[in-house]
Amino acid sequence: MFNSLRSVSDQHLLSAADTIAVQDRKLTLKLLAHLHEIERRKLYSKLGYSSMFDYCTTRLHFSEPAAARRLRTARCLARFPQLGALLEAGEVNLSTVSMVAKLMTPATVDIILSRIRGKSRREVERLIAEYEPRMALPVDRVRAVVVPVGASRGFTVAGDSEKAPTCDAVPPPATPEHDLERRSVIQFTAREEFMAKVERVRTLVWHQLPGASFEKLFELALDELIARRDPAARQKRREQRRPIVLPSSAEGSKRYVRAAVRDHVFARDGFRCTYVAADGRRCSATVALQVDHIRPIARGGASTTDNLRILCAQHNRLEGERLMGRSVPPG
């Protein structure tokens, strides 16, 4: 491809680039329209994806930031069609539109679009700070690194984000593989109340971990949270105390699902949504999981392990609509 362009004149090369850029923007608009309609019809769910974000990153092979930009812009375009002409003309782009998506309302859209036309990312960041200072804060970020085993183990603290954190891979150093360790540099912003809690935890464990790094403090807190809430951990404790007796069909006739049964079903299904699409693809969702009655209670189903399965929220709704109609909640 590159060699074929070497004989092309400068004028033809520049003209062709202009034409391709216009075509690219038009194709992008078509893609945004398709993404919105796929989301409106929830076709991603029927194909075994837990969300449009999952569909875009897994099936369409977009990077996480690219998928997020396209989905935000597609939703804005559906609400505010005047955005289409600006995108096609190149006066705004996916990056700047996605940055201000949360700020656009019927009352503000025209003002915001006029202010971001032809503006750089940095200029748009200053605009965002005017409307919503908190949105100007750095996004949560996770950067993968590979370090020598003997390197320091203290590093920046971690936090949650509304969207998937940005992950940047760093090439490993020229060191034998057995002397390397995979680590993560994690960055996020926190309120003063959060940092006060961190210092409180440091005080509480000082006798056990004097001068503990953020990593050690959070690892300890996460271990305790997992021990209390993880279904597998709770099930193991029950097994150590006494054998688990699962309910019979008669005992499980009520809608209520016992904690022991719920934990057993989670462990059996591998803590993952069990929905399988027509092509055999199983949903990969491991968050927002719910216990679903395969045969609904309203149709005589029981709260027993053989009638229970794990579904993500999206596929629980899809199955509820398939079995009971759109007006009836799933479960």
Nearest CA to 279 out of 54, 50, 58, 46 is that of 46
Rounded distance, CA 234 to CA 58, Å?
Answer: 33
Task: Residue 200: give the domain boundaries.
Answer: 192-229
Amino acid identity of residue 9, one-letter, is: S
Nearest CA to 327 out of 303, 298, 304 is that of 298
Say if residue 269 is in the same domain as residue 217. no
Show the tokens assigned to 215: 């990593």
Say if residue 19 is in the same domain as residue 93. yes
Nearest CA to 157 out of 141, 180, 139, 135 is that of 141
Of residues 120 and 147, which shows the higher confidence score?
120
Domain count, the chain: 4
Whether 157 is in a domain gets the answer yes
Please provide the average confidence, as pLDDT, over all residues in the chain: 85
The pLDDT assigned to 326 comes to 62
| Lowest mean per-residue pLDDT among 105-119, 168-182, 301-315 | 168-182
Mean pLDDT across 181-198? 90
Say if residue 116 is in the same domain as residue 25. yes
Tell whether pTM > 0.85.
Answer: no
Per-residue pLDDT at 84 exceeds 90: yes
- At 75, phi and psi to the nearest 5? -65, -40
Say if residue 87 is in the same domain as residue 152. no
Whether 240 is in a domain gets the answer no
Mean pLDDT across 84-109? 95
The pLDDT assigned to 156 comes to 44
What share of the chain in percent tops pLDDT 90?
53
Per-residue pLDDT at 314 exceeds 70: yes
Place 257 in a pLDDT band, splitting at 50, 70 and 90: confident
Q: Which residue is it, tokens 């054998």? A: 243
Say if residue 86 is in the same domain as residue 198. no
Domain boundary among 70, 105, 136: 136
Say if residue 161 is in the same domain as residue 113. no
Rounded distance, CA 314 to CA 207, Å?
Answer: 46
